[in-house]
Chain A
Amino acid sequence: MALSGSVENLFEFRNLSLMYGTVIGVNDLELSLPKGAYALIGPNGAGKSTLIGLITGALRPTLGSLQVLGENPLATRRLQERIGVCPATELLVHGVTSLQWLVLLLRMSGWSRMLAKERALEVLEQVGLQDAKDRHIHTYSLGMRQRCKLAQAIAHRPEFLILDEPFNGLDPVGRHQMTELLVQWAKAGKSLLLASHVLHEVEQVTDSFMLIFGGRLLASGTAGELRRLLADLPQDIVVQSETRDRLASLLAEKPWIRAVHRDSIPNRLVLTVDRPMELYETLSLWVSSGQVSIERITGSDGDISTLFRLLISRHRGERAYQNPGAHR
């Protein structure tokens, strides 16, 4: 992932921190990203919503500075025209229809009554709420309210869309529709920041990730870059070998092996390895020299969830990053 500035970056954080009293919201973020689609991944309370609050100008940093689309969100309100935000909070608007609500929000952006209504109808159709446009929002299902929130985020035709947990409350069909819409958005060359704690859903939309936990950015990069990072982190690897005992004794001497566990399944070893790349090289040497035989190696599958779990474990200072039950 590019970390240097371009003509107009999507955002730039410079030592960005935000404190809620003594509680850290965001901790010393230093990052610069070009325009594109990104996923902000982190568990609840990781600082995703706080970061979104800072990007939108709703929150003021305690320390540091940020720029979004080349502008300081606190210094100029015109940035609001270029950003669409779909917050995570529940939509609790009472006594109004989705059409009325969208017209209000568009008119708050300075649209005339006529154009606001035309655009509201158009966008309600886009999110599949055209048949429910005259129903009060509080009578909507959770999924419909989620789509209504999305509609307001894209209604004023922003160039940068920020979504906080957009898949919450959606049924499988709704999730698919939401994913399709976001994929189309990204394909159209518009920027996107998708905050979620559900990894597989965001992986379908973008392969650029930022992993956040405890207000800190743990890692960022494309899926490929993160997988390479994964290869350098301690992880569990399962080896299927008919020469299990021989293999176990050979591995036990290696300094980068943290634990070797004989599994209850025959011929299976579970290894906790500090430097997986060295294991793979060593195993290939042993196999080619006939010292051991190996039927199958199942490493961490390289998915982001594994990496995320590892990074969080490391961030928390846990000794056994992956498998607390593993032992030598």
Chain B
Amino acid sequence: MNPETNSYTTAGGIASRLLKSIPGVIDYELARSFTPARIAMFTLMVLIPTALMIAVANLTPQRVRNEQEASIAFCLLLFFLIPQILTTLGMLVLASPIVHAELEGQSWLYSLIRYQGRRALLLGKYIVAVLWTTCAGILSASIAIPFLPLQDPLKTWGTISLLCVLSSIAYGALFSLIGVIFQKRVMVIAFIYALVAEGLLAWIPAVINQFTISYRLRSILFRWLGLSVEKYFSSDGMVRNGMVASDPTGWAQIGWVLGISAGLLLLALILIERIQYSFQSEL
């Protein structure tokens, strides 16, 4: 038995032991992350959006490169390719199979029979997925931005980097929850959800889009880069009520994203303790 503590029942004791367990999972997951396959995936995650943006920048006629509209268009392209596509796909691949990978590798039972095994596994893997994806996003933005015709590259880099972090945190929590709920075809389910909710519903100018992560991230982008929603999206006035991006301050939006992420993670933590997974072929 653990010689360091015998505190099982108090909330403080449980939390303290969980906090001790999580770094163990992070260490372990990072140690086994540096495989050729994972490094190749990371490289592709970084290089594909970077190459696309640089290619588009090179194809942009010189006469429009210095105009403000070009700068804004590249800001939107950065946002679309990095905090939206790269981090979403990265978290889809890394966070959604949190439980499924353990079940398939027949290692789930070993976590199951540890005092804080399930919770530590979920949170540890989630943190590692956020670290990998955030690093890929920020690195991609860092490589691409010097080649793009931006009016304020430093501010754009800061905003995109922050959005990468927020996007990874939020999509990671969302896909972790999906991964906890579904045991089979979890990546397909997560992909369909991302496509329908975050890709489609988020752009529908109705109240429903305000419940999507994409909408909140977009609002932060517009607010922090001082973009006018009406100017770029309102051909028919539909954005007046904040249907493409909302009015509250960037900090309020950050609070919303972090709050919803915490809620999703909490739900995942509750469910992972309660769901009975089939972990042995003969069961």
Contacts and interface: CB of A to CB of B under 8 A. Distances in A.
Contacts of A220: none
Contacts of B20: 107, 110-112
Of B23, B105, B107, the most chain A CB neighbours within 10 A belong to B107
A242 B232 CA distance: 111
A189 interface: no
B77 to A, nearest CB: 36
Interface stretch (A33-41, A151-159, A174-182, A290-298): A151-159
Q: What is the size category of the interface that chain A forms with chain B?
A: 35 or more
B158 interface: no
B115 A49 contact: no
Contacts of A158: 1
A173 interface: no
Contacts of A157: 1
A115 B3 contact: yes
B62 interface: no
B115 A92 contact: no
Nearest to A159: B1
B9 interface: yes
A225 to B, nearest CB: 29
A131 to B, nearest CB: 21
A33 to B, nearest CB: 20
Nearest to A58: B112
Contact of B281 (A57, A89, A159): A89
A113 B23 CA distance: 9
Interface string B1-41: 11111001100000001001101110110011001000000
A53 B281 CA distance: 13
B282 interface: yes
Contacts, number: 129
A100 B114 CA distance: 16
Contacts of A89: 106, 109, 279-281
Interface in B263-283: 276, 279-283
Contacts of B113: 56, 58, 80, 83-85
B28 A104 contact: yes
B1 A94 contact: no
Nearest to A77: B115
A58 B106 CA distance: 14
B1 A95 contact: no
Interface in A1-55: 20, 25, 44-45, 49-50, 53
Task: Pick the most buried of A56, A60, A100, A111: most chain B CB atoms within 10 A of its CB.
Answer: A111
B116 A59 contact: no
A263 B27 CA distance: 69
A49 B283 contact: yes
A108 interface: yes
A93 interface: yes
A136 to B, nearest CB: 9
A89 B23 CA distance: 27
A25 B105 contact: no
A236 to B, nearest CB: 32
Contact of B21 (A50, A90, A93, A108): A108
Contact of B2 (A56, A90, A100, A156): A156
B91 interface: no
B4 A56 contact: no
Nearest to B20: A110
A156 B1 contact: yes
B78 interface: no
A81 B8 contact: yes
B115 A110 contact: yes
A122 B23 CA distance: 22
Interface of A: 20, 25, 44-45, 49-50, 53, 56-60, 76-78, 80-85, 87-96, 100-101, 103-113, 115-116, 152, 156-159
25 contacts: A20-B283, A53-B280, A56-B113, A58-B112, A59-B276, A76-B8, A77-B115, A81-B8, A87-B110, A89-B280, A89-B281, A93-B105, A100-B28, A100-B32, A101-B28, A104-B24, A107-B25, A107-B120, A109-B115, A110-B5, A110-B116, A111-B20, A113-B23, A113-B24, A115-B3
